[in-house]
Chain A
């Protein structure tokens, strides 16, 4: 085997240094702050006091869970229909699906607010028609709707990618052998697109559970989710230790659930996605 040149050996070094300084070190700081008190002494009190935030954790998990389920129910049929279109139409729809993903989530949340707010378009129209206005912003529904609206494309795209790779003959065979549409969906399409579903679920659940601007803008400041709590601890209360402890717990929960989900989806080879 030929010897590696200096360039080959050194090329990755700047990146490795950068990674250690700006990826590994910051995470170590999170761990350090989570296990110390304000004076810098080692303590478990931050972690132990997390039970005070139990309700917030529960509500965040519930909101993120509902948003994920709605995204899956709305997104799966969309991905399925898209995968059955002509290839040229598929390309167009994939682009249409990607454009919202590229627009800042903050701006998309804000545009949803423009539509739903008390002085927004929907209520202006209702007032014009002499109908009672609806108060949407500030309800749990608005926060969940915001999550669904913001993250739906992240559910559809991976599912679409798995479905579009499936051989259409599989569906024809199922129909020939007497499956109706529903049976084809549950016995053929769903099992074969499991890995896409799992990656879609991860891509919706993780940002939903850690968001703070959706709940701030659409929740009217009435709902404290994990993200809001972390943001406040760092930027307003200046209690970095508690903030770090919450971040650490959230990160570990997310990493575990992602690992479990990936294990769960890997038995069909794990090849795929986007």
Chain B
């Protein structure tokens, strides 16, 4: 039984990792085919970096992921603070339920709903809405928000209320108390929320697909366009780079949140992703 269970685990994990390993290995294949592995080389990586659209897409992805995760972290952390102080249970439940909608809904529905909103907004003349960086930033911030709140809110719940009261009694203003007492305590949650948002934004394809335009492409959109027809080995190189980036980020996130208690998450779809930070 023991041996059988080990064989089973190796098989299933092998199935999960085989395609990724193949992709990474062959991205270094100078021959650019699956027929023969001529020599180990960075040829396709150089080829990739010669392509200026790929570089632009990389820049766009990084800018978008940084900005959207920072904005979501600021709004989300403040929201978690506000929610943790709310006394009306119904308001609290209403707010957290609506916040979680983008997590529960299929991505494609979130994508098309935002597309409809932006299309309607573009009909209003003075708003000057066009699909592109702005719409992508709004969409990414929106789907990052629930994950930030999900990682920060439990920190406020764990915090000893007497600490805040003591600070207030000793003459701190509420703003100063927040900065000097509460923020340091919740910081690990804030950092993991930020990193989680950054990763989700870097990864997102489906929602971006509906709110982007041809002049602002992120890496996943670029991969999607490039893989529409032919197999290009520089795309394998790009995918391999993204796998490495995610690997590094995941190690960082685990490091940042290491050794902490798991926040209590109730049943939510996709929540499994959140575990990465715990």
* Given known contacts A104-B242, A111-B19, A206-B106, A11 and B79 CB-to-CB distance under 8 angstroms: yes
Which size bracket describes the interface of B in this complex? 35 or more
User: Quick check: A206 and B269 within 8 Å, CB to CB?
Assistant: yes
Judge whether B273 is part of the interface by a CB distance below 8 angstroms: yes
User: Quick check: A247 and B8 within 8 Å, CB to CB?
Assistant: no
Q: Is the interface of B mostly helix, strand, loop or mixed?
A: helix
User: Quick check: B113 and A27 within 8 Å, CB to CB?
Assistant: yes
A230 to B105, CA, bound (A): 15
Judge whether B130 is part of the interface by a CB distance below 8 angstroms: no
A209 to B106, CA, bound (A): 9
* Given known contacts A100-B20, A258-B269, A274-B272, A18 and B142 CB-to-CB distance under 8 angstroms: yes
User: Quick check: B22 and A111 within 8 Å, CB to CB?
Assistant: yes
Residues of A within 8 A of B13 (CB): 93, 96
A77 to B5, CA, bound (A): 8
Residues of A within 8 A of B268 (CB): 273
A204 to B192, CA, bound (A): 25
A149 to B267, CA, bound (A): 23
**19 residue pairs A–B, Cβ–Cβ below 8 Å:** A12-B79, A19-B98, A22-B114, A26-B110, A77-B5, A82-B9, A99-B246, A99-B247, A104-B205, A104-B220, A106-B220, A181-B1, A199-B269, A206-B269, A210-B106, A213-B206, A230-B112, A247-B109, A274-B272
User: Quick check: B227 and A217 within 8 Å, CB to CB?
Assistant: yes
Judge whether A141 is part of the interface by a CB distance below 8 angstroms: no
A210 to B210, CA, bound (A): 14
User: Quick check: B276 and A199 within 8 Å, CB to CB?
Assistant: no
User: Quick check: A273 and B265 within 8 Å, CB to CB?
Assistant: yes
6 extra interface residue pairs, beta carbon distance < 8 Å, beyond A11-B79, A111-B23, A251-B109: A15-B149, A104-B204, A114-B231, A124-B34, A158-B272, A240-B116
Partner of A154, one of B75, B110, B178, B272: B272
Q: Please, what's the 1-or-0 string for B195-221, where 1 marks a CB less than 8 Å from any CB in chain A? A: 000010011111001100000000010
Q: Please, what's the 1-or-0 string for A186-223, where 1 marks a CB less than 8 Å from any CB in chain B? A: 00000000010011001100110110110001000000
Judge whether A50 is part of the interface by a CB distance below 8 angstroms: no
User: Quick check: A114 and B19 within 8 Å, CB to CB?
Assistant: yes
Residues of A within 8 A of B269 (CB): 199, 202-203, 206, 258
Least CB distance, A122 to chain B, in whole angstroms = 9
A76 to B29, CA, bound (A): 37
User: Quick check: B112 and A243 within 8 Å, CB to CB?
Assistant: yes
* Given known contacts A11-B85, A158-B272, A251-B109, A107 and B239 CB-to-CB distance under 8 angstroms: yes
A84 to B1, CA, bound (A): 12
Q: Which of A2-10, A41-49, A51-59, A168-176 contacts B (4 or more CB under 8 A)?
A: A2-10
Judge whether B224 is part of the interface by a CB distance below 8 angstroms: yes
